[in-house]
Amino acid sequence: MSIRIDDATRTFTLHTRNTTYQMHVDEYGYLLHLYYGTRSEGTMDYLPTYADRSGCCACPHDVANRTYSLDVLPQEFPFQGNGDLRSTLLQVRDGEGVFGCDLRYVRHEMRDGKYALPGLPAAYSDAADDTQTLSVTLADERIGLEVELLFGVLPDVDVITRAAIVKNVGTGRITVEKLQTACLDFVHGSFDVITFNGQHCMERKPSRQHVLPGSFSVGSRRGQSSHQYNPFMILCDRDATETAGRAWSMTFVYSGNFKAEVEQTQYQQIRMQMGLSDELFSYPLEGGEQLVAPEIIMTYSNAGLERLSHNLHRCIRKNVCRGEWRDAPRPVLVNSWEAHYFNFTGDELVRLAEKAADLGMDMLVMDDGWFGERHDDFRSLGDWTVNEEKLGGTLGQLIERINAAGVKFGIWVEPEMVNENSDLYRAHPDWALAVPGKAPALGRDQLVLDFSRAEVRKNIFDQLCAVLDQGNIEYLKWDFNRSIVDIYSHATADQGRVVYDYYLGLYDVLERLVQRYPHLLIEGCAAGGGRFDAGWFHYAPQFWTSDNTDGHDRMTIQYGSSFGYPCSVMGAHVSACPNEVNGRTVSLSARGLIAMSGGGFGYELDLLELPERACEIIRNQVQQFRDMERLVREGLYYRLSNPMTDDVYMWEFAAEDGSEAIVNSVIAKAEGYGEARYVVPRGLTPGALYREVNSDRVYAANALMDMGLPLPVSSALYMSRSYRFVRVDE
DSSP letter for each residue of 472-518: -EEEEEE---S-------TT-S-GGGHHHHHHHHHHHHHHHHHHH-T
Closest to 281 measured CA to CA, from 470, 522, 65, 495: 495
What gap in Å lies between CA 666 and CA 599, rounded to an integer? 19
Average pLDDT over residues 418-444: 97
Whether pLDDT at 103 is above 70: yes
Q: What is the CATH number of the domain that holds 561?
A: 3.20.20.70
pLDDT at 676: 84
> pLDDT-derived band of residue 56, with 50, 70 and 90 as boundaries?
confident
Whether pLDDT at 675 is above 90: no
The domain containing residue 462 runs over which residues?
A: 333-633
Rg (CA), the chain: 27
HSE-CB of 657 using CA atoms within 13 angstroms:
4
Determine, yes or no, domain membership for 85.
Answer: yes
The region that residue 177 occupies, defined by phi over 0 for left and psi between -120 and 50 for alpha, beta otherwise, is alpha
Tell me the pLDDT tens digit for each residue of 693-711.
Answer: 999 999 999 999 999 999 9
Closest to 525 measured CA to CA, from 560, 583, 476, 485: 476
Does residue 717 share a domain with residue 606? Answer: no
Confirm if 163 and 295 have CB atoms less than 8 A apart: yes
Coil, strand or helix: which one is 625?
helix
The amino acid occupying position 374 is R
Tell me the pLDDT tens digit for each residue of 526-554.
Answer: 999 999 999 999 999 999 999 999 999 99
Confirm if 399 and 471 have CB atoms less than 8 A apart: yes
Does residue 131 share a domain with residue 84? Answer: yes
Confirm if 30 and 105 have CB atoms less than 8 A apart: yes
What gap in Å lies between CA 257 and CA 217, rounded to an integer? 13
Determine, yes or no, domain membership for 422.
Answer: yes
Confirm if 222 and 482 have CB atoms less than 8 A apart: no
Tell me the pLDDT tens digit for each residue of 650-661.
Answer: 999 999 999 999
Q: What is the CATH number of the domain that holds 660?
A: 2.60.40.1180
Q: What is the CATH number of the domain that holds 109?
A: 2.70.98.60
Does residue 262 share a domain with residue 200? Answer: yes
H helical segments located in 33-122: none
- Burial (CB count <10 Å: 0-12, 13-18, 19+), residue 290: middle
> pLDDT-derived band of residue 280, with 50, 70 and 90 as boundaries?
very high
Q: How many structural domains does the chain have?
A: 3
Average pLDDT over residues 200-206: 97
Q: 180 Cβ partners below 8 Å, 6+ apart?
A: 89, 90, 259, 273, 274, 275, 276, 293
Q: 404 Cβ partners below 8 Å, 6+ apart?
A: none
pLDDT at 723: 97
Q: 250 Cβ partners below 8 Å, 6+ apart?
A: 182, 184, 232, 233, 260, 272, 273, 274, 296, 297, 298
Does residue 181 share a domain with residue 52? Answer: yes
Which of 84, 547, 550, 553 does the annotation list as catalytic? 547
Q: Look at residues 288, 320, 352 and tell me which one is the last residue of a structural domain.
A: 320
Whether pLDDT at 1 is above 80: no
> pLDDT-derived band of residue 231, with 50, 70 and 90 as boundaries?
very high
What gap in Å lies between CA 423 and CA 645, rounded to an integer? 51
Does residue 579 share a domain with residue 723? Answer: no
Determine, yes or no, domain membership for 385.
Answer: yes
Q: Look at residues 285, 320, 355 and tell me which one is the last residue of a structural domain.
A: 320
HSE-CB of 302 using CA atoms within 13 angstroms:
9
What gap in Å lies between CA 338 and CA 479, rounded to an integer? 16
Closest to 524 measured CA to CA, from 535, 515, 364, 516: 535
Q: 42 Cβ partners below 8 Å, 6+ apart?
A: none
Does residue 179 share a domain with residue 206? Answer: yes
The mean predicted confidence, pLDDT, of the chain is 96
pLDDT at 331: 97
Determine, yes or no, domain membership for 438.
Answer: yes
pLDDT at 730: 67
pLDDT at 54: 78
222: part of which helix (H) or strand (E)? Answer: none
Determine, yes or no, domain membership for 272.
Answer: yes
Q: 22 Cβ partners below 8 Å, 6+ apart?
A: 11, 12, 13, 14, 33, 34, 35, 36, 43, 44
Q: Look at residues 633, 657, 689 and tell me which one is the last residue of a structural domain.
A: 633
Determine, yes or no, domain membership for 519.
Answer: yes
Determine, yes or no, domain membership for 583.
Answer: yes
Beta bridge partners of 22: 13, 35
Does residue 290 share a domain with residue 161? Answer: yes
Does residue 663 share a domain with residue 594? Answer: no
Which of 362, 479, 501, 533 does the annotation list as catalytic? 479
Active site residue 486: no
Does residue 590 share a domain with residue 703? Answer: no
Does residue 143 share a domain with residue 76? Answer: yes
* Cα–Cα distance list, 270 to 78, 215, 230, 261, 707 (Å): 13, 10, 21, 10, 39
Does residue 230 share a domain with residue 159? Answer: yes
Determine, yes or no, domain membership for 638.
Answer: no
Active site residue 696: no
pLDDT at 670: 80
Report DSSP letters for 639-690, one per residue.
Answer: E-S-TTT-SEEEEEEE-TTSSEEEEEEEESS--TT----EE---S--TT-EE
Does residue 338 share a domain with residue 316? Answer: no
pLDDT at 269: 96
Tell me the pLDDT tens digit for each residue of 472-504.
Answer: 999 999 999 999 999 999 999 999 999 999 999
